[in-house]
Structure 1
């Protein structure tokens, strides 16, 4: 690569790729709105192929990275009670932040009233999937076949199997040293693959953004402008203000340093719209740039990608109030409390994949007697909001990881405060 590229940080290159893709997408949409050649060879051709290869490459690393990192982290914990304490803190913190997120969203929606006076007719339909019972969620935590769980990307089952595997390695003592050495070497290889992929990210981000913005129907967004802007604003405020206050209150760490180091992860989350697919980048940033030990980060990050849905909870809160206002249904304080409780509990066992928020929203609406078909009103604008709330979700994963690591004495403050931590190791552009 050229010297100019070497002078640009990875974050800068990714940002350039993102905004360049947005600009190209806009130009293609407005200059060639009906062009078969542009659609066939660029939008659904080159951009689609490059973007999907990039996403598939990230997803390729998720299962081996989560399994290997979590096994290593678990087998280094000699006291099983420590693991229980670690898990308890993590789950409680994730549920608290989710409850705060949806409460904030409901308050903002009741105050702003995005659905007041709106008369919309939508041709979109949404058929609600049956949400699993709590008993079934607990049963499904334990895999019948761990290899099947890995093949299907069932993150909760992978986490449980990795925890049991790591605990077993810790219990057999020195006999596991050779196996532990293998996992350590395997982990180094996977993390190097993450570094390589991150250096190629600007091209993948460009292709994804160009395709998305050349296909987005902005007329729908304009018709739901008040709803769209409210959800977007609450997401940003929660991701910046709420997380900063929580982080400062629990750890005393500088929120500005945290947010600055999280920019790459946030862009990845925004582009890919999947917490699970962003795990390799999130974990690399949490452990290498924020100073969280691997034994904590390897547990909190994959678990957060599965059960921490603050961004999704915000959408559910605003959407519930919006739909109630459109259909002229008055919700009581008890109804709002039920929405908060349902959305918080529903976040457990929810897979971090695109579009899952709409499935869980159907469950929330059913709890307060609102028509599920009202989801059809907001489907048209949910794609861009889904991207934004994924950025919020991954930010929350990292924030909770820092709090848990600090409470367990597993946080390296020198690494956290070092603005250039891990940048030299990750900048392999001269080798590519």
Structure 2
């Protein structure tokens, strides 16, 4: 086992975790798994988050300060944001193409869709929204009785606490000025930003500002600070090494807990959950896999000739498997940086600047999923969105993805904003809740793969890429013993 590459050990841990969860469900041990095994998965994510925030802070300061030339910083920053934006638009467009081709929402039985449509019209009427396509089932005598039944059901229907919580967050986000996102980037208290979840953009702003200021003061004054920052950064990288030595066990606990919470003591629940949403899940999954195995390698090959297809995935294997198990770009960031620097040969000056920004603003997997989810939910309620409304989805999803926190299922909160932008019921996110956690794992792999792709392209353009293919797969990302 010592000779086995880390990503294979993590994959074995994932598989054993799922097998254990299903076995414990069958044997009635789910409570034991949730109480005694799942907490170690939580500890793992907490450890990675503990490291991620200070690592982002010191990595960016170090990366900016070591660039040496403010003009190079501006050029590199502009290219980074532009490529991230282009890949996001590409992901959304792919999502819309797939969902309009497969039409997963129209593959549900017709009666269920009619009931959903009536529910939609009741909601739209109560909220003062105009019916999208002008068709009104509530005024059709053929559906009058069913409409009355649906109305009664709707009055007595209680919102799930989790849905209501996300609606409240979305409403607060909507009640802002157009420039509020710009205001939110600049912290009024840096230490509060460090201690709060979802304020990574503020930390990045401070780190870039601090690093830029180091470029404009005399070298004899700035060098001690840069040396200190570099040294602190090395300490956090060593923390990553130590935590990752136990990653296979932690991943086992994490996956065992996730599946156990879904299944309880009834394996059939997992089957039923996925059966109803299978076409939606497959459409999202197809889009995410196309991004991972086709889109990103094609983009990389177009700009960087020296990295082979298989070599790229060998190099990024540990980060991708960890992203899958944690569903968090931020938690995976330390390992992504290790893979990009050690396996792909990206200079630390580039990775420490590009990757932390990518973990915050580059959410291609989330964008693709949101585009598919909005159109799927519309189809499920017999609503045909126009081209204009779908373009609104593209724009809103692009902006929303930038604001998504790099933590599990944060995209659901942003999906509420996107649904509301085209006049659809935000509470419909409850429909896709059951499969969101599993799909979120694949979305995070897309995000991490996209970050690595863009980082490698930027490094090659700046002549800071020194890729050397490993002769033996076990050579990739082996930790210090």
> In the alignment, which residue of structure 2 is the partner of 1:35?
none
Would the alpha carbon gap of residues 236 and 65 (structure 1) be closer, same or farther in structure 2, given more than 3 Å must change?
A: same
Judge conservation of contact 2:350–2:459 (CA < 8 Å) in 1.
yes
C-alpha distance in 2 between matches for 1:353 and 1:133: 25
Shift of residue 249 of structure 1?
A: 1.0
> In the alignment, which residue of structure 1 is the partner of 2:189?
145
> In the alignment, which residue of structure 2 is the partner of 1:361?
415
Asked whether 1:71 is paired with 2:89, we answer: no
- 3-state SS of paired residue (2:402): coil
- The runs of 5 or more residues in structure 1 that have no matched partner are 33-37
Asked whether 1:161 is paired with 2:206, we answer: yes
Judge conservation of contact 2:292–2:449 (CA < 8 Å) in 1.
yes
Residue-by-residue CA offset, 1:366-403 (whole Å, 9 max, x unaligned): 22222222222111111111111011111111111111
C-alpha distance in 2 between matches for 1:67 and 1:176: 17
Shift of residue 107 of structure 1?
A: 0.8
> In the alignment, which residue of structure 2 is the partner of 1:14?
10
> In the alignment, which residue of structure 2 is the partner of 1:251?
304
Shift of residue 243 of structure 1?
A: 0.6
2:102 to 112, 118, 128: 112
- Larger mean CA deviation between 306-315 and 147-156 belongs to 147-156
Larger radius of gyration: 2
How many residues are aligned here?
417
Shift of residue 25 of structure 1?
A: 0.8
> In the alignment, which residue of structure 2 is the partner of 1:25?
21
> In the alignment, which residue of structure 1 is the partner of 2:145?
none
Asked whether 1:227 is paired with 2:280, we answer: yes
Shift of residue 425 of structure 1?
A: 7.7
Normalization by structure 2: what TM-score? 0.83
Would the alpha carbon gap of residues 419 and 192 (structure 1) be closer, same or farther in structure 2, given more than 3 Å must change?
A: farther
1:267 to 313, 321, 326: 321
Judge conservation of contact 1:70–1:159 (CA < 8 Å) in 2.
yes
Would the alpha carbon gap of residues 353 and 133 (structure 1) be closer, same or farther in structure 2, given more than 3 Å must change?
A: farther
Normalization by structure 1: what TM-score? 0.92
- Larger mean CA deviation between 229-238 and 200-209 belongs to 229-238
Judge conservation of contact 1:29–1:215 (CA < 8 Å) in 2.
no
Which aligned runs of 4 or more in structure 1 are off by greater than 4 angstroms? 120-125, 419-425
Judge conservation of contact 1:114–1:226 (CA < 8 Å) in 2.
yes
Asked whether 1:50 is paired with 2:40, we answer: yes
Judge conservation of contact 1:124–1:379 (CA < 8 Å) in 2.
no
C-alpha distance in 2 between matches for 1:70 and 1:420: 32
Would the alpha carbon gap of residues 155 and 421 (structure 1) be closer, same or farther in structure 2, given more than 3 Å must change?
A: farther
- The runs of 5 or more residues in structure 2 that have no matched partner are 117-156, 263-268
C-alpha distance in 1 between matches for 2:236 and 2:377: 45
Task: Give the RMSD, CA atoms, in angstroms.
Answer: 2.0
Judge conservation of contact 1:195–1:426 (CA < 8 Å) in 2.
no
